[in-house]
Chain A
Amino acid sequence: MRYFITVLLFSVLLQAEGFINWQPPVVKAKKTGKQEHMGHGGRKSKQFQVNGLNLAATTEAYYLMPTLEKRELTLENGLISLPRTGMENYHALVVKQIQEKSISSSVRYIYSRGRPSKVSPTKITQLQKNELEIAPILLPKEHNHYKGSESYRFELRFKGDVLADHNITFTTSNGTEETFKSNKNGQFTVAMPNDFKDVKMKRRANRPAEFILAAAYKNEGISYNATLAMPYYVNPIDYWQTQMLAVILVFIGLALGIYMLRNINKKKKRKA
């Protein structure tokens, strides 16, 4: 229940400022009646919902494949089902809402399994998808996700050019709020917070949280609002992994090896 409320508040907070963002919809599970994310299990299509959408305004949404091929999406009450592309690698879910004096947009990068795309995701992150855009410098790869207590770099761009000395707000579904400023290269580093509560000491037992990076920019009388929404995970090092003991174990292994070698030497000498 608490999770549902925080996600709801998190979405409402951003909507109030004219931002839109991609989030997995929260629904009640049929069997248990508990709040849960939709479309994460089995072979069901994943679903995502645009929060903050003005249903009367012109909205376009599409799914960008790693090869930059577009699949147009139809929003039904702000909800879409992800089409299957059969291609492995990061895809981009893009939405843009055009109103009289404002353009709001949101991007979410989604990793899908399938046949190898043989294309670097930098191609999809570097491509200009919206006028104002927050792009990851590098997306976490194969065995990795965005994780708490780790730092990640992003870039703020307007019409393809970097936007220096500009504020970017960072909010998470766990309640963290921060503001970052882009440097002269338009880049900024986000130290992902370890703000998870009630963490279970088991892999896969903890649901990812959501973070949103949001930026606003006014140009020639038009307000541009952009968000980047992605999930982030509990960092095992913060909870169920110990590094100091591991280092001690490596040294024990070293000592054990040297001891074994000395024994073999002694045996050889005795035989000789």
Chain B
Amino acid sequence: MDKFLTLTWFRRLVQLFFFVIMVYGSLFMTTFYSEDKFTGALPALSCAYDEQSGDYCTLIPFQHQMDHRVSGIFTSDLSVMQALLPTLITLGTFILLMVILNKAFCGWVCPLGFFQEMIHSLGDKLGFKRFHTLGTSTLKKVRPIKWLMLAFLVFIFPLLTGIGFLGHEFGDPFCRICPSRILTTLAVGDTSQLYIDNSSTGYMVFSIIADLLFGLMIAMALTIKQPFCRICPMLALQAVFKKVGLLRLVKNGSSSCEKCGLCEKVCPTDIFEIKEAVDKPTNITFADCTLCGLCVEFCPDDDVMQLQYAGFPVFKSSKDYFKKRNKDQRNWEKVTWADVAPK
């Protein structure tokens, strides 16, 4: 029982809870329609195509607003304020949620993040060789992709569609390729989002990318930690507002930081900068951080790494916890599919 008293196990339970809420929420909350959703601007990939979802992702209204409303500044007699007001309301809701949980929406709430973690664990148990890091040079190439996805797929293409420069298929281009759309609809038994669309070249290309990306993400997740998160525009959007969040990852100065490097090794998004030593307590909630807390769990020094809420430590590293956690991890890694499979 003692081995379950870890931050990771607690996080898994929270993730499972939110997976059920975000994918099947309407079944037991008597909700069915967007009007019943918690926020309509959730900083996690909870999809509106899933008719049973409890809430949906903020990238959906942003794309629609760019296409149908903000574009009105250029195409109709809408005033700037009229055109921007819905976007400002969505942004306000998003920022409010960011204040409450910051980037933990990725590491604790997102159904796609949870799914990838589960696939990774499955890959581990099936004996797939894990990549502890993608390597600094690969990471430097991959990291800008999420910013490009955010800029083009969430804002620029939908806006150009609304103005009339692009076809309708570019009205919500991120949703068209988002793996969460396929995952969450399949999870409720709805196969309607798994298709190739022949109605136009644009729709066809988007649908082919979506299907390939979904398969690719599953294959990658077997050995690489959080493959889609690394290019997810939600991670980028959250990074813009990470400083307003009350929940933060804070590092205190320690002379042993650069020798150890365990925090970098366990980080699901390979933030190599995390191991760099600091002189004074520093907020190290990096752009790619999902506030999963693994680095705090695996830090072997007392109080060096902390998860702080409004300046108060809610979870901090310690030698004793590290010893216990490390032992549990080694025991967990020893268990393979061959051990549990019926002989």
Within 88-119 of A, Cβ neighbours of B (below 8 Å) are at 88-90, 116-119
Option from B36, B168, B196, B218 in Cβ contact (under 8 Å) with A254: B218
Q: Give the size range of B's interface with the partner.
A: 35 or more
Contact of A142 among B48, B197, B199, B214 (CB under 8 A): B48
- Which listed residue (A247, A261, A265) contacts B220, Cβ 8 A? A261
**Given B33, B212, B218, which contacts A120 in the complex, CB threshold below 8 Å?**
B33
Please encode chain A, from 228 to 272, with 1 for each CB lying within 8 Å of some chain B CB and 0 for all others.
000000001100111101110111111111101100110000000
Please measure, in the bound complex, the distance between the C-alpha atom of A239 and the C-alpha atom of B191, giving whole angstroms.
16
Return B67 CB to nearest CB of chain A, in Å: 13
In contact, A237 and B195 (Cβ under 8 angstroms):
yes
Whether B66 sits at the interface, judged by CB under 8 Å, is no
Contact B30 A249 (CB under 8 A): no
A84: CB under 8 A from chain B?
Answer: no
Check B122 for interface membership: any CB of A closer than 8 A: no
Determine whether the beta carbon of A201 is less than 8 Å from that of B199. Answer: yes
Complex CA distance for A142 and B131, rounded to whole angstroms? 40
User: Can you give 29 contacting A-B residue pairs, CB < 8 Å?
Assistant: A118-B35, A120-B31, A120-B32, A120-B33, A121-B32, A122-B32, A144-B51, A201-B198, A201-B199, A202-B199, A203-B199, A237-B192, A240-B197, A241-B195, A242-B195, A242-B196, A246-B194, A247-B194, A249-B211, A253-B213, A253-B217, A256-B216, A257-B215, A257-B217, A257-B218, A257-B220, A257-B222, A258-B222, A261-B223
Contact: B214 with A253, CB < 8 Å?
Answer: yes
The verdict on A66 contacting chain B, using a C-beta distance below 8 Å, is yes
Instruction: Enumerate chain B residues within 8 angstroms of A255, measured Cβ to Cβ.
Output: 215, 219
In the complex, whether B241 has a CB less than 8 A from a CB of chain A is no
Residues of B within 8 A of A (CB): 30-36, 40, 48-49, 51, 129, 131, 168, 191-192, 194-200, 203, 207-208, 211-220, 222-224
CA distance A265 to B222 in the complex (A): 14
Q: Is A55 an interface residue (CB 8 A)?
A: no
- Contacts A201-B198, A236-B199 known; A250 to B215 CB distance under 8 Å? yes
